[in-house]
Amino acid sequence: MKHIPLTRFIPALLLVLLGACRQDFLVENNPNAIITADYYKTENDVLLALNGVYQALRDNSGVAENSGLYSEERSDNTGRNDNQSNAGEPFQFNAFAILPSNSYLQTHWNSLYQTITRANYVLAGSETVTYTKAETKLQYQAEAKFIRALIYFNLVRKWGDVPLVTKPLTTTEEAAANTFREKKEKVYEQIVADLTDVINSPLPDIQSAANKGRVSKVAGNALLGQVYLTMATTLDQANRNANLAQAKTFLTNAYNKRTFGQLKEIAYADVFDVSKKTTNPEAIFQIVYKQGDINYASSIAFNNQAQGETINSLRTTTGVGGNVTPDLVKDYEDGDIRKDFSIKYANAAVVKDYFITKYRDASSTAGTSGYGGNEWLLIRYADVILMLAEVNLYLGDEATAIGFLDQVRDRAKLPLYSVAKTNSAYSAKYPTLKLAILHERRVELAFENQRWFDLLRFFTPTELVTYIRSKSQADFGVAQLTNFGTKDYYYPIPFNEVKLNPTGMYQNPGY
């Protein structure tokens, strides 16, 4: 793979009119090269460049709908048994055998930083134009800061210390000076600062249906709450209680702005129904796709469909679909409606296994080409509710924690926690409320790329090794659980990045 070094922060040309994340602001023409120094003349130029930042979120090598290789396959939810295709590099992720030279890892790193670069250009360019209304500038900046924070949150959880760049780098000397890993605590400080600006901005609490896919204050509160929760559980424990209090504040702010009462008012299947996506009250922040459009359609439905099946898409597929580990299949409780909606057993001779059915669009508009209209939900209310259960547990308020947990279980048609824990099988698998919440997050948010981050938050590196290795090898195919060690808490820094500055871009332990 051709390496793109950190000097990628010095693009001579910025592709700003690349489209964005909802139908209303999907730009279907590409004027290509515009010199950045000459580009920002009007507030509309800032908007178009901002749409280009949203467009970057659609990259499947970053955080888009088909980016599960970098998160879900790293966890115990999904994986692959093919250790030969593509030189075996994708298999390295779920086999816990990833090498710093892995080209997919390098591509993921590049994609994340390219999104940050676009956001930095918008933030710098937004300062150079005149606005009809002062709040317009603050809104555009808040949107760019949210996306920058979201991407840095992904980076810091996956790699720990990472380069922290918050402005355009326009010379080779500037790029070289910024090619070093900043301590993760500093990265979190920047994330918090960006999201604080979001929640204090003139953005609406909730975006209108016409603006689905754009950042809102609720999204800012929800993400900031998750950031503080992660800091409380993974950083210096001296600040644990303060960070938990902040997490509770911002998650509660997001929860209190919901437009529904109890979660059970929203059918689980409706959350992922493409015909109801514009009115889905559970969605907080999502990447929007355009059904039937060759350029902006979703492909997650047919990508996860197994041979011989038509539940996801009318497009004929020949593969095994989105692989589901038997370990996850066994974690669904009897009667959980989420199981039949999320996974299905494929009986084709080449499959004979479960595949992912959570994302479906077998409509005539999507057609036999599979140009689906699925949304990719990055934040939704069930996630917020379960984080509130987690936060209240850590703060010692088990009654409130159970109340939030029960909201999710009630919608799934499962016994409430007080009843479930009297079941010997349930109490044996989840002997503590903490493990019960982790279990609920697993089955509720399966295939939404949350599981790996949950494991990092719920366990220390040593605890996570014990947790993973205690599982049955038979439930993980040819991916050897014994490979997992404390080094796997973080990814290795891509080899080509280390070469740029062996001292400043030091490798993570164990690689």
List the one residue out of 81, 300, 406 whose CA is nearest residue 90.
81
List the one residue out of 46, 266, 267 whose CA is nearest residue 136.
46
Q: Which long-range contacts link 419-427 to residues 24+ away (Cβ below 8 Å)? A: 420/333, 426/333
* Side chain identity at residue 175, one-letter code: A
Neighbour count for residue 482 (Cβ, 10 Å): 9
CATH class of this structure's domain 1-203: mainly alpha
Cβ–Cβ < 8 Å for 391, 226:
no
pLDDT along the chain (511 residues), means of 10: 41 37 39 64 97 98 98 95 74 95 98 98 97 97 98 98 96 94 98 98 96 97 98 96 98 98 98 95 98 97 97 95 96 98 96 97 97 98 98 98 98 98 98 98 98 98 98 94 97 97 97 96
Q: CA angle, corner 40, sides to 38 and 42, nearest 5?
A: 130
User: Distance between CA 447 and CA 280 in Å, rounded?
Assistant: 19
Same fold, 1-203 and 204-285+379-471: yes
pLDDT of residue 305: 97
Which 8-state DSSP code applies to residue 29? -
40 CA to centre of own chain: 31
Domain ranges of the chain: 1-203, 204-285+379-471, 289-374
Element (H, E) at 343: strand 343-346
Which one of 1.10.3720.10, 3.40.50.300, 3.40.1160.10, 1.25.40.390 gives the CATH number of domain 204-285+379-471? 1.25.40.390
Tokens of 127: 């300062």
Cβ–Cβ < 8 Å for 212, 288:
yes
pLDDT of residue 81: 77
pTM of the predicted model as reported, rounded to 2 decimal places: 0.93
What 3 state SS string does 63-123 have? CCCCCHHHCHHHCCCECCCCCCHHHHCCHHHHCCCCCCCCHHHHHHHHHHHHHHHHHHHHH
Bridge partners, residue 346, by sequence:
353
pLDDT of residue 124: 97
